[in-house]
Amino acid sequence: MLPLLLLAPAWGQVVRPVSVLQRYLELADSQVETILRNNEDYNRYSREKQNRIAQVQSEIAEETAKESLDPAALGIRYAEIEVHCRQLKEEAARTRNLNMAALNDAQKTKLKALEEAVKLLPVISEAEWTNLLGTYSGPPFLFNSTTARTDGARLGTLIPGVAGCSPAVSTRWFDASTFQPPQP
C-alpha cells in the first residue's frame, strides 16, 4: 500500500490524507487546508525537537560509557529531554486547539462522537482477541486462551494475521523497474 501512495504523485493524483474524515465531518476544503497547515507547523517544530532529543540521547550514551560517571552532566541532559517532551506536549495541545477552532458546532458534535467511540477501542480489541467479534480480515495469529494471553488487546491493537495468509487485498510490492511515468 505504501509504495502506491508514494507513486500517486507520479500519476498526477492528489492524495488527501483526511478524505474519509473530511466526508464524515463535512469539512470544507479550506478547513482541511487550515488543519493540515497547522499540523505541518507542528511537524516541523516536532522534528526539530526530536533531532535535539536524539542528539542529547547520544550525549547520554557517551557520558554513560565513560569510566567515571558525572551525575550532573547526566542529570542536565535528562532534564533537557524532559523539557523538550513537555514543550512538544504543549505544542500538540496548542495545535489541536487551532484545529478545533477551524470547526463549526455541528462538526465539533460529530467529533465528540468519535471521541466517545475511541473509548471503545480497547473493548473492541479484546473482543477480537477473545474471538467474540469477528472483524479481522484474515486468519488471526492467535486468540486469548488458557495458554495464550495477548496483553496488547488492552491497547487497542489489531489482530495480526498468519504469515502468508493475506486478506483479499494484494500485498505485493509494486515493481518499480517496469514503471513508466506518463508522457507529457
Tens digit of each residue's pLDDT (9 = 90 or more) over 134-165: 766 666 656 666 565 555 444 444 555 666 66
* Residue 170: CA count within 13 A, CB half-sphere: 5
* Burial (CB count within 10 angstroms: exposed 0-12, middle 13-18, buried 19+), residue 94: middle
- pTM over 0.85? The answer is no
Q: What gap in Å lies between CA 134 and CA 107, rounded to an integer? A: 31
Same domain, 97 and 24: yes
Residues of 1-32 as b/e, b for ≥16 C-beta within 10 angstroms?
Answer: eeeeeeeeeeeeeeeeeeeeebeebebeeebb
What range does the domain containing 34 cover?
15-118
Rounded CA-CA distance 93/98 in Å is 9
Orientation of helix 71-101 relative to helix 29-65, angle to 10°: 180
Tell me which of 52 and 136 has the higher pLDDT.
52
* Co-location of 35 and 96 in the same domain: yes
Q: For residue 34, is pLDDT > 80?
A: yes
pLDDT, position 65: 96
Mean pLDDT of 110-123: 92
Please tell me whether residues 61 and 139 are part of one structural domain. Answer: no
Cell numbers placing 45? 517544530
Domain count, the chain: 2
Considering the domain boundaries, does residue 73 fall inside one?
yes
Is residue 173, in this structure, part of any structural domain at all?
no
The amino acid present at 56, given as its one-letter code, is V
Domain-located, residue 176: no
In this structure, the answer to whether residues 135 and 85 fall within a common structural domain is: no
- CA dist 31 and 87 (Å) reads 26
Shared domain check, 155 and 108? no
3 in any annotated domain = no
